């Protein structure tokens, strides 16, 4: 299989095929009810923490900016609900620590319409104006990394960008939010692509979609054909390409390899090849928000897993506590003392969280709930020493040697890992840990090693 796709041209080397488990691919996006209270953590992306610009007790409208920063890599936050600022202070965050957050209590009688934004015409706008407008929406990458979109789309003066790569791979098992967005918001997506192309100066856009989403490819092709007829795009300016289903195809480097057969230099950005990569969910949201001049107040989240009675893709107001989401989606017996796993993001790279008070933030693409029964099999697995089977070497998309790295990590030889075995190239996709028959937590070891190296470098 893997060999075949390699010769066909169109996949990167190695990678893994975890069971896809896309339970919710057939279900339309539904809106989750508005929660009585939302929690907006100030830290949702890299860059300096935005400062609250509202006070406790102040009335806010849905879509109104509530926090801003003067840092280039920082974006504003908008009030997800019309209501009253109830509290500004520490609340549980997804990493386990308590983080500075703004809590807003919804007005029971409010219609919760987006009232704040002013529509604007950006059809003739120049790059700088579009970037400004993107910054105003508070948009970050909705695929999970949560990198501020205006920073991603702004091209340094000396660099040139010719291609916008639109990432519709969604290679993580279980997640279907991008898939549904491509099916239901194809028009918004094209609008977003148009803006992104104008902002970056790209002359072509290529949408890469994994070939397990044939319906999305078909819908996008139809939409593009209509757009070309209507004059929105020129012929040959925008393409949709089905790329082989292989984890982690959704990584920038892997997608560029699959589409163009070119390796991105280690440690570099796609801009080095004249490309900018953005996720379909982000661009579709931009396409909707930019003309309306509104801020990002909600996103599509896949709520799924064996512990959820009504799995599906939900349009969730940012800041909704997980408990509210899970109650609505029917995670049985949330309140009982029942061991379970709740994961934000996909099962390969997602973050297991320890409290259901944690809110949905801009970077959360999925909520997975696994029952105790599903975890028992993994719990029974014994951890063996590395038997050097080589499975990890055969699966690492970055061509590293996780086996040797793991053994060095066990010996705490962190410098050697960084200097000779290219630890910094690892982007923690989890392939090595997924295949490891000895059940060694390789990725976790690498995370620890990287953190220690970072601390040493800072010291």
Nearer to other proteins, 28 or 73 (CB): 73
- Report in angstroms how near the CB of residue 388 gets to other proteins at its nearest: 4
Please give the residues from 206 up to 225 whose contact with other proteins meets the rule CB under 8 A: 206
d(CA 338, CA 283): 39
- The least CB distance from residue 229 to other proteins, in Å, is 21
CB nearer to other proteins: pick between 111 and 382: 382
For residues 329 and 342, give the distance between their C-alpha atoms in angstroms, rounded to a whole number. 13
Per-residue binding string, other proteins, 133-172, x by CB under 8 A, is --x--------------x---xx-x--xxxx---------
Q: Is 352 in the site for other proteins (CB under 8 A)?
A: yes
Query: Footprint of other proteins on residues 428-457 (CB under 8 A)?
Result: 428, 430, 433-435, 437-439, 441, 443-444, 447
Closest of 313, 344, 327, 316 to residue 92, by C-alpha:
344
Residue 334 makes contact with other proteins by CB under 8 A? yes
Pick 356 or 452: Cβ nearer other proteins: 356
In terms of CB distance, is 57 or 156 closer to other proteins?
A: 156
Q: Give the nearer residue to other proteins in terms of CB position, either 187 or 241.
A: 241
Which of 381, 411, 412, 456 binds other proteins (CB under 8 A)? It is 381
In Å, how far from its chain's centre is CA 125? 28
Are 12 and 258 in contact by the 8 Å Cβ rule? The answer is: yes
Provide the minimum distance between the beta carbon of 254 and other proteins in the complex, in angstroms, as a whole number: 9
Q: What stretches of 93-151 adopt beta strand conformation (E)?
A: 98-106
Written as six digits, the tokens of 244 are: 């082989």
The verdict on whether omega for the bond into residue 248 sits within 30 degrees of 0, i.e. cis, is yes
Give the torsion sign (CA, 95, 96, 101, 103): positive
Residue 442's SS3 state is helix
In this chain, which of 399, 411, 419, 456 binds other proteins, going by CB under 8 A?
399
Note whether 269 binds other proteins by CB under 8 A.
no
Closer of 100 and 391 to other proteins (Cβ): 391
SS3 call for 307: coil
Cβ contacts of 444 within 8 Å, gap of 6 or more: 433
- Kindly state the helix (H) or strand (E) to which residue 395 belongs, with its residue range: helix 391-395
Distance (Å, rounded) from C-alpha 459 to C-alpha 456? 5
Placement of tokens 């090595």 in the chain: 432
Look at the alpha carbons of 432, 433, 434, 439 in this order and tell me if their dihedral is positive or negative: positive
Q: Rule CB under 8 A: which of 224-253 touch other proteins?
A: 239, 241, 253
Bridge partners, residue 314, by sequence: 30, 301
121 lines the binding site for other proteins (CB under 8 A):
no
The token pair at 293 is 């001049």
Using CB under 8 A, pick the residue from 128, 412, 419, 451 that binds other proteins. 128
Other CB atoms within a 10 A radius of the CB of residue 245 amount to: 19
Question: Is 16 a binder of other proteins (CB under 8 A)?
Answer: yes
Binder to other proteins among 23, 84, 271, 393 (CB under 8 A)?
393
Token output for 61:
């409208």
DSSP string over 364-427: --EEEEE-HHHHHHHHHPPP-------HHHHH-TT---HHHHHHHHHTT-HHHHHHHS-GGG--
Tokens 């962190």: give the residue: 414
Residue 310 is a binding residue for other proteins (CB under 8 A): no
Instruction: Kindly state the smallest distance separating residue 57's Cβ from other proteins, in Å.
Output: 27
Q: How far is CA 362 from the centre of its chain?
A: 8
Please report whether residue 401 would count as binding other proteins according to CB under 8 A: yes
Residue 303 CB, shortest distance to other proteins, in Å, is: 16
DSSP bridge pairs for 437? none
Instruction: Confirm or reject binding of residue 203 to other proteins (CB under 8 A).
Output: yes
Residue 3: which residues within 8 A CB-CB, separation 6 or more? none
Residue with the two structure tokens 């500004």: 88
Restricting to residues 171-190, name those near other proteins by CB under 8 A.
173
Number of chain positions touching other proteins (CB under 8 A): 116
Q: Which of 26, 113, 373, 425 binds other proteins (CB under 8 A)?
A: 425
Shortest Å, Cβ 437 to other proteins: 5
| Whether the Cβ atoms of residue 174 and residue 214 lie closer than 8 Å to each other | no
Using the minimum distance from each CB to other proteins, give the nearer residue, 66 or 206.
206
Residue 19 interacts with other proteins (CB under 8 A)? yes
Nearer to other proteins, 72 or 115 (CB): 72
What span, in angstroms and rounded, lies between the C-alpha atoms of 414 and 446? 9
277 binds other proteins (CB under 8 A): no
Tokens of 409: 């990590």
The answer to the question of residue 391 lying near other proteins (CB under 8 A) is yes
Between residues 62 and 194, which has the closer beta carbon with respect to other proteins?
194
154 vs 282 by CB, closer to other proteins: 154
User: Which of 319, 366 has the CB closer to other proteins?
Assistant: 366
Considering the complex, state which of residue 81 and residue 368 has its C-beta at the smaller distance from other proteins. Answer: 368
């Amino acid at each position: 299989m893997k060999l075949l796709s390699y010769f066909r041209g169109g996949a990167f080397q190695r990678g893994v095929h975890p069971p896809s488990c896309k339970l919710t691919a057939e279900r339309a996006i539904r809106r989750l009810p508005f929660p009585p209270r939302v929690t907006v953590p100030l830290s949702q992306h890299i860059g300096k923490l935005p400062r609250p610009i509202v006070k406790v007790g102040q009335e806010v409208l849905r879509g109104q900016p509530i926090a801003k920063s003067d840092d280039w890599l920082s974006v504003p936050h908008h009030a997800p609900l019309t209501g009253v600022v109830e509290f500004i202070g520490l609340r549980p965050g997804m990493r386990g620590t308590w983080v500075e957050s703004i809590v807003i209590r919804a007005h029971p009688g409010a219609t919760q319409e987006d009232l704040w934004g002013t529509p604007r015409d950006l059809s003739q706008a120049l790059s700088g104006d579009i970037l400004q407008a993107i910054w105003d929406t508070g948009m970050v990458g909705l695929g999970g990394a949560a990198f501020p979109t205006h920073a991603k789309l702004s091209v340094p003066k000396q660099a040139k960008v010719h291609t916008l790569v639109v990432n519709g791979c969604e290679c993580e098992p279980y997640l279907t939010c991008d898939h549904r967005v491509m099916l239901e918001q194809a028009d918004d997506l094209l609008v977003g692509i148009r803006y992104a192309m104008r902002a970056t100066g790209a002359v072509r856009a290529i949408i890469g979609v994994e070939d397990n989403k044939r319906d999305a490819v078909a819908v996008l092709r139809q939409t593009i054909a209509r757009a070309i007829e209507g004059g929105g795009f020129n012929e040959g300016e925008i393409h949709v390409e089905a790329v082989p289903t292989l984890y982690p195809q959704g990584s920038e480097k892997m997608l560029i390899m699959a589409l163009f057969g070119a390796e991105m230099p280690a440690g570099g950005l796609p801009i080095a090849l004249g490309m900018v990569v953005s996720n379909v969910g982000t661009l579709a949201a931009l396409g909707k928000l930019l003309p309306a001049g509104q801020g990002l107040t909600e996103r599509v989240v896949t709520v799924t897993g064996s512990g959820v009675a009504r799995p599906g893709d939900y349009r969730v107001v940012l800041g909704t506590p997980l408990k509210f989401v899970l109650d609505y989606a029917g995670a049985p017996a949330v309140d009982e003392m029942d061991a379970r796993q709740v994961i934000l993001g996909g099962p390969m790279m997602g973050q297991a969280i320890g409290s259901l008070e944690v809110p949905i933030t801009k970077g959360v693409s999925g909520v997975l709930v696994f029952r105790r029964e599903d975890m028992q099999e993994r719990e029974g697995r014994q951890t063996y020493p590395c038997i050097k089977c080589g499975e990890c070497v055969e699966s690492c998309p970055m061509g590293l040697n996780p086996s040797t790295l793991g053994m060095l990590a066990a010996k705490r030889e962190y410098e050697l890992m960084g200097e000779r075995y290219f630890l910094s190239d690892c982007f923690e996709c989890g392939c090595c840990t997924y295949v490891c028959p000895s059940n060694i937590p390789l990725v976790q070891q690498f995370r620890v090693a990287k953190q220690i190296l970072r601390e040493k470098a800072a010291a």
